[in-house]
Structure formats: structure tokens, C-alpha cells
Amino acid sequence: MCRLALKTSSTPFSPYSVLEAMEAMQEGYDGSGLGLLLRGLEFLDYNYQTKDPIFSGIAHTHEALNRLDSFMQEKGFTLKYDHEFNVDHSKVEAPDRYKYLLRIYNFPEIWKDYDKDRIEHELMMTRLELRRDGENHNGDLTLFSFWPEVVIIKEVGWPLGIGDSLGLSDNRIKARLVMAQGRQNTNWGINLYACHPFFLQGVSTMTNGENTAFIPIKEWLMGVQFPGYIGYQSDSEVFTHILHYTIKKLKLPLEVYKHIITPLKTEELLDHPQGDFLRGLRDVTRKLIIDGPNCVIGSLQDETCFMVMDHKKLRPGTVGGKEGEWAMASEMCGVDAMIPERDRSLDFQPMRENMVIISPDRKEYKIWSQFDPYPQHRVA
């Protein structure tokens, strides 16, 4: 089973500290992989401008790197910063890691006239084009994200071992928000693209447990014909795409994500203040109902974090921390490891109807219940 850890703090911290927390939960994974997502970045060697897009991925060969360079040049991107990890190749399990990519670019001149939606679309399309290019060349180029303020690292091995092999303890990268997932989804074979957290246009989630309703959900998402809804090497990727669909395509509040993946029962909705709308919503998004057992932890572009459970709550999940610093983990010991100094009596484990939300100010966590009205949307 996957182990999940998320830490968010007003003060940037080293992602290595989250990897150390993963050690506390090591009984729960098999060391087959790590996925790491960083938001709110700070570099020791570089003064990062928050709007610049960052490439995260792996060039497996020199030739792939050259292709990437010429592709980006052709598109009009200029390289502003190329982060060199202090890689210790002797500690890297996989043999074909030519270069771990963390590259910051300037937007092409022509994009200056594009509005926000267009830029978001073009960023996604650029990443997808390169991903396809890598796939067409025996997978020699793996790309996890191309987005401002987001870095993703995915690798095979033990989380702490990967942190050591990439020199993440050197404090050259810090972040205000780190999401980490230990263990690849081994049910579906080792594949870097199968590793959580998944990311699409600013939206990210990671999950533990298996998604039993994977195929119908995947088929529906693919039917939407949105270019970013691809991949699905892991059954957990659909959780990210459902969130993306909810807030980016339907433009509904985050809370509605919970109503979509685990709708209330008919008799419960009959008494709900927004019941009429929600019943209709349940019907139209019926194919996106998850069946668990899952705990989903996610974050948004503005550094909002959340945790939800499936309806049966067969997976654990704990939130704890203090003002300015919060942690979410699939195990209580993970929260302990990330924020040992806290009032444990305030820890919370969400029930089937809850969504725990930590807003970007990080003052508190909010426990929202599906039985309560969600923030008014124009149609509800």
C-alpha cells in the first residue's frame, strides 16, 4: 500500500525532511518508488521568478537532452536556470538516468499576448508533445510537469535513498509545500509515469489504496477528449483528473470534488439545502464516483491542501500541525515525524463525509462536511 505525506509551511523547508518522515512509515511500502512534488520554491543558487515555468523530468540519454533543447529553442523558450542535482549515481537503482531535469525557462515572446487560459493550455500541450516524443524514442525522455512553481521528482527505490542519491539534503531547493508518496503502484508494473503525485495544470493529488472503479472512470475521462486526460499507467491518476475536471473545467469549488467522487445518498440529499442541485450533479457525474478504498491528498496552485476519504473509509489518513505548519499523512506516525511539536489532541482523521482543507494562509485546518452547504456557486 502506498504511504503518503504532505507538509505545508509558511517558511520554506527542505523536501528531505519529508523523506525522513517517510522513513517513519516505511513498514507500509516496498521501496519500489518515490514521487515528490514541491510547490512554493526557493533555490539557494537562483532567484526564482514565480511565473516562470519549470520543467521536471528525466532525460535518459544525451540524445534525448539534445532533442529537448532543440525543441524548446524552436518553440521560443529560453533557458534561465538549469538545476544540477548533486547526483550520486552509485545510489541510483536505474541505470539509464542521464540527467534529472529541473529547468526554468522564459516564456516565448509570442506568449506575452496570451491570456491565462491560453498559457495554461500551451504549457500543457508543450509537455504532452515532449512526452510523446520521449515515448516515440523508447521512453528516453520522461516529463512530469511543466508549470510555474512546481517541481516533481519521481524515481525507483527507497524514498530516503532517492533523496540521498539526488543530494536533496543539501538545502539548495526548499519549498513551502511538499507532497511525497512512497511505493510505486506495483500492481500495474514499474513505470515512472505510474507514480503519484499526479499533476495537471496546477492540480495535484496522491492516493493510497486501489481504485476499484478505475476502468469506467478512465473511459469516461478519455471520452471528454481533453488532451491532458491521458496516461493512466496508475489507477490513481484519475483522482487528479477528476479534480482538474471539477475545478478547471466545471469551475466548481473544491468542496464539490468531494460531492462528485463520493456523493451522498438520495435520502441524505433530500434533506440537504443544495440537495436538488447535488442530486442532478450526482447523476451527470455518476461515472466519476470512486469506490475506494482510498485516501486522497491533494494540493492546488495557490497552495491550498486537502484530504478526503472514500465513502467506506477503509484507508487511514491524519491531519495535524500548528499555525503556519501542517502535515497530512496516511499514517499518524508520518504526521509525528513531520511535525513532532504539536498538540496531538487536535489531530483529525476525516470521516466519510469530511473534507479537510488547509488554505494558503496556513492558519488552521477547516473540516467541511458534505452535509453542510458548500460555498455558494452561481448555479446551486
Partner 1 sequence: MVTIRSIPSTPGSLTYTDLPWIINHIEDRCTLCGKCTSVCPTSAIYLGYRRQRIPQIDIYNKDRKTSYRTFAGIRQRLDVEHRCIGCGMCSMVCPNEAITPVLNSNDDRLKFHIHQGGDAWKRGGRRNSRESLLDNIIFTRISMLTDPALDAGRHEFYLNTILGRILSPEEYLKRKEKGQWIPPTREIFPFIIGSMSFGAMSPNMWLGLLQGVAYCNEVLGIPVVMATGEGGCPPWVLKSPFLKYIILQIASGYFGWDEIIRAIPDMQCDPAAIEIKYGQGAKPGDGGLLMWYKVSKLIARLRGVPQSVDLPSPPVHQTLYSIEESVMKMIQSLSMAWGFRVPVYPKISGSNSAKSVLNNLVRNPYASALLIDGVDGGTGAAYNVSMDAMGYPIASNLRECYLDLAAQGKQNEIPLFAAGGVGKNGNVTQNGMALIMLGASGVHIGKYVMQSIAGCLGSERNRCNVCNLGICPKGITSQNPKLYRRLDPDQVAQRVVDVFQAIRTEMKKIMAPLGRSQSLPIGMSDAIGINDKAAADKLKINYIC
Residue ranges in contact with partner 1 by CB under 8 A = 187, 209-210, 212-216, 219-220, 222-225, 245, 249-250, 252, 262, 265-266, 277, 280-281, 283-287, 289-293, 310-312, 314, 378-380
Torsional sign, CA 108, 111, 112, 115: negative
Of 40 and 293, nearer to partner 1 (C-beta) is 293
Burial of 69 (0-12, 13-18, 19+ CB in 10 A): middle
Of 165 and 294, nearer to partner 1 (C-beta) is 294
Of 150 and 288, nearer to partner 1 (C-beta) is 288
- Residue 372 makes CB contacts below 8 A (sequence gap 6+) with none
The residues that bridge with 147 in the sheet, in sequence order, are: 54
Cβ at position 93, least distance to partner 1 in Å: 23
Cβ at position 369, least distance to partner 1 in Å: 18
260, 350, 319, 326: CA torsion to nearest 10: 50
Cβ at position 290, least distance to partner 1 in Å: 7
Query: What CA–CA distance (Å, rounded) separates 124 from 133?
Result: 14
Of 292 and 320, nearer to partner 1 (C-beta) is 292
- Residue 239 makes CB contacts below 8 A (sequence gap 6+) with 198, 205, 207, 211, 261, 290, 294, 296, 298
Is the distance from CB of 255 to CB of 359 less than 8 angstroms?
no
Cβ at position 1, least distance to partner 1 in Å: 8
Of 80 and 352, nearer to partner 1 (C-beta) is 352
Of 276 and 302, nearer to partner 1 (C-beta) is 276
Residue 177 φ/ψ, nearest 5 degrees = -140, 125
Cβ at position 241, least distance to partner 1 in Å: 13
Cβ at position 261, least distance to partner 1 in Å: 9
Cell of 310: 472514500
Element (H, E) at 38: strand 34-43
Q: Nearest-CA neighbor of 129 among 147, 143, 150? A: 143
Cβ at position 377, least distance to partner 1 in Å: 9
Cβ at position 22, least distance to partner 1 in Å: 21
Cβ neighbours of 285 (radius 10 Å): 20
Cβ at position 285, least distance to partner 1 in Å: 5
Q: Nearest-CA neighbor of 181 among 163, 199, 166, 195? A: 195
Of 189 and 340, nearer to partner 1 (C-beta) is 189
Look at strands 150-155 and 34-43 and give their pairing: antiparallel
Of 155 and 235, nearer to partner 1 (C-beta) is 235
Q: According to DSSP H, which parts of 166-253 are helical?
A: 214-223, 237-244
Cβ at position 367, least distance to partner 1 in Å: 22
Burial of 216 (0-12, 13-18, 19+ CB in 10 A): middle
Output the CA angle 368-344-346, nearest 5 degrees: 25
Of 141 and 256, nearer to partner 1 (C-beta) is 256
